[in-house]
Amino acid sequence: MAKVTYLGHAAFYIEGKGIKALIDPFLSGNPSSAWKPSDVKELDYIFITHGHDDHLGDTLQIAKDTNATVIANAEISAYLTSKGLKCHSMHVGGRYAFPFGRVKLTPAWHGSGITEGDQTLCGGTPCGFLIEVEGKKLYHAGDTGLTMEMKLLEQEQVDLAMLPIGGNYVMDIDDAVRAVEFIKPKKVVPMHYDTFPVIKADPHEFQSKVGSLAEVIILEIGQSYEI
Ligand code: NI
Ligand code: MN
């Protein structure tokens, strides 16, 4: 069984046959994070949706400590390779069969600048990920507004979708409900809310508005779900 653990904000730990992975490991910068970077002892992959600090997070330290391979777009991969990390570069629309399962990068409407000192470096195009683990298809939307491209995801038959609901930078609850209508996943985990005052949102309001469209699983920070 694939296990998905919510670490707060947009950070998740995914574990299954042949894969131990983090998505957007924003841990030390998030006061309510479930884990510290040093808690991660063994890791195969780190998925990065875009270059913003609250997603790139502790990637440098964790990848150096664990020798994990970073999966990200070409620009973020080039940046992290220059820092000495091992990367597998992909881009939006591309799919690749890894030993654990296939991964596809999906479009996200957002930015992707990488902050380094007082400079912002080009982080390419932001993305989401479709990740196959033990025959289940997981979708992490990344940071995004509602997009028509999400309608294409219906054909992917997503088992579990991780969708932002916090508004301001990303979809708010009502747009996230429309995203569920487009994607038609079996299950949905809301994310990217409550970390900062501007992205405060009630996951129970999201759950009641989704209604019978999908099963909404509200994970406490640090809580795991087996799919
Ligand atoms: Ni962002
Ligand atoms: Mn963000």
pLDDT tens digits along 12-54: 999 999 999 999 999 999 999 999 999 999 999 999 999 999 9
Q: Which pLDDT does position 159 carry in this prediction?
A: 98
Q: Which pLDDT does position 50 carry in this prediction?
A: 98
pLDDT-derived band at 64, boundaries 50, 70, 90: very high
Q: Which pLDDT does position 121 carry in this prediction?
A: 98
**How far, in Å, is the centroid of ligand 1 from the Cα of 100?**
27
Q: Which pLDDT does position 71 carry in this prediction?
A: 99
The pTM of the whole model exceeds 0.95: yes
**How far, in Å, is the centroid of ligand 2 from the Cα of 115?**
13
**How far, in Å, is the centroid of ligand 1 from the Cα of 169?**
7
Q: Are 42 and 65 in contact (CB under 8 A)?
A: no
pLDDT-derived band at 226, boundaries 50, 70, 90: very high
Q: Give the domain range for residue 129.
A: 3-226
**How far, in Å, is the centroid of ligand 2 from the Cα of 52?**
7
**How far, in Å, is the centroid of ligand 2 from the Cα of 192?**
7
Neighbours of ion ligand 1 (CB under 5 A): 52, 143
Q: Centre a 10 Å sphere on the Cβ of residue 145 and count the other Cβ atoms it contains.
A: 15
**How far, in Å, is the centroid of ligand 1 from the Cα of 11?**
12
Number of domains in the chain: 1
CATH of the domain at 127: 3.60.15.10
pLDDT-derived band at 60, boundaries 50, 70, 90: very high
Q: Kindly report the CA angle at 99 between 93 and 101, in degrees rounded to 5?
A: 50
**How far, in Å, is the centroid of ligand 1 from the Cα of 55?**
7
**How far, in Å, is the centroid of ligand 2 from the Cα of 55?**
6
pLDDT digits (tens, 9 = 90+) for 178-204: 999 999 999 999 999 999 999 999 999
Which ligand is closest in space to the CA of residue 51? Answer: 1
Mean pLDDT across the chain: 98
Q: Centre a 10 Å sphere on the Cβ of residue 34 and count the other Cβ atoms it contains.
A: 17
**How far, in Å, is the centroid of ligand 1 from the Cα of 43?**
24
User: What is the DSSP code string of 144-207?
Assistant: ----GGGGGGGGG--SEEEEE---TTS--HHHHHHHHHHH--SEEEEES-SSSGGG---HHHHH
- 130 sits in which H/E element: strand 127-133
